[in-house]
Amino acid sequence: MCTACELYADATQTVFGSGRTGAAMMLIGEQPGDQEDIAGEPFVGPAGRVLDRALERAGVVRSDVYVTNVVKHFRFQRQGKLRIHRTPGVQHVRACLPWLRAELAAVEPQLLVTLGSTAAKALLGAAFRLTQHRGEILEYENRPLVATIHPSAVLRGPKDRQAEMFDELVADLKLAGHTAGSV
């Protein structure tokens, strides 16, 4: 268990990444959600199901990639029986970065994909704007990085934009797959 910030106190467990070392691609989300906190695995809830569909459409096999989050504990607010997601603060991202660094050193992926703006800002700086650079091949510490939207943005987006947002996610994952040579 990690106690580098206070989030461990209310979460069920630390959720590290999942996948094999040597994976060509590392997908980096924000933080575990309600279901991930319980299962102890990243992206197994509703956002994970969108991610799975998008990976399949992009021709990327999930078991070939390493999937993780910048923050390894679920940050939430209780509302009755519900645990409502809260975006992690910069202090949580900062406290958790050594874990991501350790995962990068262990997995040695050729390419990174950030899912959503928390992950992109964690690696590329607070001034990074996903709306301006989504789908571009950027760079993080000498590795190519593709910044795309978070799968949960597809679920939360306006109904008439959801299909288009899903297609954007698929296109970015396809670009990442081709760039990493894993498709």
Stretch that binds ligand URA, among 4-12, 29-37, 92-100, 121-129 (CB under 6 A): 29-37
Give yes or no for residue 113 binding ligand URA (CB under 6 A): no
Q: Which of 25, 27, 31, 95 binds ligand URA (CB under 6 A)?
A: 31
Q: How many CB atoms lie within 10 A of CB 24?
A: 20
Task: Pick the closer one to ligand URA by CB: 91 or 181.
Answer: 91
Give yes or no for residue 11 binding ligand URA (CB under 6 A): no
Give yes or no for residue 96 binding ligand URA (CB under 6 A): no
Give yes or no for residue 177 binding ligand URA (CB under 6 A): no
* Residue 32-61 contact track with ligand URA, rule CB under 6 A, x = bound: xx--x-----xx-x-xx-------------
Q: CA 91, 37, 118, 1: dihedral to nearest 10 degrees?
A: 40
And the tokens for 76?
């939430």
* Residue 64-93 contact track with ligand URA, rule CB under 6 A, x = bound: -----x------------------------
Residues with Cβ within 8 Å of residue 40, at least 6 apart in sequence: 12, 13, 15
Give yes or no for residue 19 binding ligand URA (CB under 6 A): no
Contact assessment for residue 118 and residue 30, using Cβ atoms and an 8 Å cutoff? yes
- Which DSSP string do the residues of 148-174 spell out, in sequence order? E--HHHHHHS-GGGHHHHHHHHHHHHH
Tell me whether strands 65-69 and 25-29 are parallel, antiparallel or unpaired. Answer: parallel
Q: Give CA–CA dist 57/60, Å, rounded.
A: 8
Task: Pick the closer one to ligand URA by CB: 29 or 109.
Answer: 29
Binding site for ligand URA (CB under 6 A): 29-33, 36, 42-43, 45, 47-48, 69, 152
